[in-house]
Chain A
């Protein structure tokens, strides 16, 4: 039971990462730097509860906000580049964040334990939820509350005028600009939003694992957070959720393959892209599902 709770918790936090890539990706920008926002959220929320002794909620909000502000700041230089350039630039941002946390020391001794970000040693003893007697299952509920709020927000975003603007910018920037859409604002807003969501994921993660260090936010995390929406599909936010759930269940479920898991993982990505270049839930599928649902609602029409 505990095992399934743990797997579901990890899926929840990775869904947030996938959604943070997704909201940026639907403006046509692929970010390999969301793990940087994740790290900012994790470190700041951890500092909040473990060092300053504040409540979990404001600490998580603090981490989120810091990551969101950083997303806003990254959004501007990111405007100048596209495609692979943007991928490399955002990854460079993620690495700078990682290397900064590798060098930051800010510790206090609390209850005989050295707490706080301690350079290469990482940030240990973020034990807020366990000190206050949360069970893993209760914290799972906290994580999924956050996931539902974010997913609900993205759901309404996609159906709003703003969501249409996001898609228009992805489709054709020049045409979008000529139609009166402020491309700069849309792209920067998407990055800010992505920063918030990834920061939330990180803030929840550090309290779940009680520990984070710079090695947890390297290229593999960047790659998997991009793979979730790409494999799950860019047609709808369900794609990011499906991608995260599918890939984590798969890596857990394929334990009997042992070391061959990553080979299967890599092959799965290649095969999905060969057959469905926009992921499993692509735009065509979204349209088909909508048409199907409409028929169900009004069968006589």
Chain B
């Protein structure tokens, strides 16, 4: 009995730490939707391309890991601008599904471009925290998972300050509320949108760096995986809600880890999607979303 209880708590801790990553990806999607009112399904591949670019200074010039981190962030921002230029800037207005399709096209394009560039071989991603778990009472804690949780808290605090305490943050909230009126009041909608792209991409690059590290190896399929997780999180949390994305991310992490431990790997994903279905049926606007 106590064994089971210990397992439950252990998996709860793992789930929360790992859920922080889901929450961060969800925040990226949800911020983007909040400001632009459009979906960027190429977000996962933006992150993936960024962390692949981060490998260049490591593998070619043997640079230290902080350079890799900076390259990941910068790379994701550059790819984010490419996505914005190709998929959003020249798109005609009034077609709700068109940005979904262009970004799906971009998802396919970027993934294949990376496959070509790397000859589809997985790359090793060095884990700066090592793979030694440390003990905390009866529980084992993986340092890289803990790093995700700490980074998650730091990023969320920074994001909170950025959104609520800076001019750019105020512009972002204004555009999210009403783009036409913001424009009239002197807020450049184009500039705000571009900066939002840069912000979400940078957040993605930083998150992706940590995730690639916990995986230990990097392959292009990570883009699709992150896209699916991010979408599940924003649907559960409610579109455009940052607190919703945080709670939904943690919830998804906890459910997945419990299901993984007690039922096995193929049931983990079934439970993730059943959770999604339960929310869609019982609470379609999500945890924190406005009523539809």
| Pair A263/B109 contact, Cβ less than 8 Å | yes
A160 surroundings in chain B (CB, below 8 A): none
Residue among A88, A230, A261 with the highest chain B CB neighbour number at 10 A: A88
- Proximity bits, A261-283, B CB within 8 Å = 1, else 0: 11101111110011001100000
Q: In the complex, which residues of chain A have a beta carbon less than 8 angstroms from the beta carbon of B266?
A: 99, 102-103
State A219–B44 Cα separation when bound (angstroms).
Answer: 14
CB-defined interface of B100-132 with A at 8 Å, one 1/0 digit per residue?
A: 111011111111110110000000000000000
Is the beta-carbon distance between B280 and A270 smaller than 8 angstroms? Answer: no
Chain B, 238-252, contact with A by CB distance < 8 Å: what is the 0/1 string? 010000000000000
Q: Is A83 an interface residue (CB 8 A)?
A: yes
**Cβ 8 A contact of A80, one of B96, B111, B281:** B281
* Chain B residue nearest in CB terms to A96: B273
Which of B96, B97, B274, B280 interacts with A230 by CB under 8 Å? B97
**Beyond known contacts A259-B116, A266-B107, A269-B102: 14 more, CB 8 A cutoff:** A81-B280, A84-B39, A84-B231, A96-B270, A219-B228, A227-B101, A231-B101, A259-B112, A260-B116, A261-B112, A269-B104, A270-B106, A274-B91, A277-B97
For the complex, what is the distance from the CA of A277 to the CA of B93, rounded to whole Å? Answer: 9
- Least Cβ–Cβ distance between A27 and chain B, in angstroms: 13
Contact at A274–B104, with CB atoms within 8 Å?
no
Q: In the complex, which residues 79-95 of chain A have their Cβ closer than 8 Å to any Cβ of chain B?
A: 80-81, 83-85, 87-89, 91-93, 95
B232 touches A266 (CB 8 A): no
Whether A245 is near chain B, meaning CB under 8 Å from some CB there, is no
With an 8 A cutoff between CB atoms, is A77 at the interface? yes
| A30 proximal to B (CB < 8 A) | yes
Asked if B277 contacts A270 (CB within 8 A), the reply is no
User: In the bound complex, do residue B281 and residue A77 qualify as a contact, i.e. CB atoms below 8 Å apart?
Assistant: yes
Q: Can you list 5 A-B pairs, Cβ within 8 angstroms, ordered by A?
A: A83-B96, A262-B109, A269-B104, A273-B91, A277-B97
Max chain A CB contacts within 10 Å: which of B39, B101, B276?
B101
* Structural contact, B105 and A267, CB atoms closer than 8 A: yes
Q: Which of A123-159 contact B (CB under 8 A)?
A: none
A246 close to chain B: CB less than 8 A: no
A8 at the interface (CB under 8 A from B): no
User: Which B residues lie within 8 Å of A100 (CB)?
Assistant: 270
In the complex, chain A residues whose CB is within 8 Å of the CB of B104: 223, 226-227, 269
The yes or no answer to B92 lying at the interface (CB within 8 A) is yes
Closest residue of B by beta carbon distance from A275 = B92
Binding site secondary structure of chain B: helix
In whole Å, how far is A235's beta carbon from the nearest beta carbon of chain B?
A: 13
Beyond A230-B97, A263-B116, A277-B98, whether A85 also contacts B91 by CB under 8 A is: no
* Bound-complex Cα distance A83 to B232 (A): 14
Given contacts A92-B232, A96-B274, contact A267 B109 (CB under 8 A): yes
Contact of A262 among B108, B232, B267 (CB under 8 A): B108
- Cβ of A270 and Cβ of B105 under 8 Å apart? yes
User: Which residues of chain B come closer than 8 Å to A226, judged between CB atoms?
Assistant: 101, 104
- Which residue of the partner chain B has the closest CB to A261? B112
B143 interface residue (CB < 8 Å to A): no
Are A273 and B101 within 8 A (Cβ)? yes
Residues of B within 8 A of A99 (CB): 266-267, 269-270, 273
**Contact for A84 among B87, B100, B116, B270, CB less than 8 A:** B100
CB contacts under 8 Å to A, within B238-292, are 239, 266-267, 269-270, 273-274, 276-277, 280-281, 284
Inter-chain contacts of A30 with B (CB < 8 A): 97, 100
| Residues on the B chain within 8 Å of A102, using CB | 266
Contact of B112 among A83, A93, A262, A274 (CB under 8 A): A262
A273 to chain B, nearest CB (A): 5
B86 at the interface (CB under 8 A from A): yes
Mask for A90-125, Cβ within 8 A of B = 1, else 0?
Answer: 011101100110110000000000000000000000
User: Is the pair A230, B109 in contact by a Cβ cutoff of 8 Å?
Assistant: no
**Chain B positions within 8 Å of A83 at CB level:** 96
In the bound complex, how far is the Cα of B92 from the Cα of A107, in angstroms? 53
Nearest residue, chain B, Cβ from A76: B281
B109, A81: Cβ atoms closer than 8 Å = no
Give Cα distance in the complex from A269 to B251, angstroms.
35
Does B95 lie at the interface of the complex (its beta carbon under 8 Å from any beta carbon of A)? yes
Chain B residues with Cβ below 8 Å from A95 are 269, 273
- Give the most central of B105, B228, B280, B284: most A CB within 10 Å: B105
Are A274 and B108 in touch, CB under 8 angstroms?
no
Q: Does B10 contact A (CB under 8 A)?
A: no
Chain A, Cβ-Cβ closest to B273: A92
With a cutoff of 8 Å between Cβ atoms, the chain B residues found around residue A89 in the complex are 235, 276-277, 280
| Smallest CB separation, A167 vs chain B (Å) | 16
The CA of A30 and the CA of B99, in the complex, are separated in Å by 13
Q: How far is the CA of A73 from the CA of B113 in the complex (A)?
A: 39
Chain B: which residue is nearest A86 at the CB level? B280
How far, in angstroms, from A231 to B97 measured CA to CA in the complex? 12
Contacts of A96 in B (CB 8 A): 270, 273-274, 277
| Cβ contacts under 8 Å, A81 to chain B | 280, 284
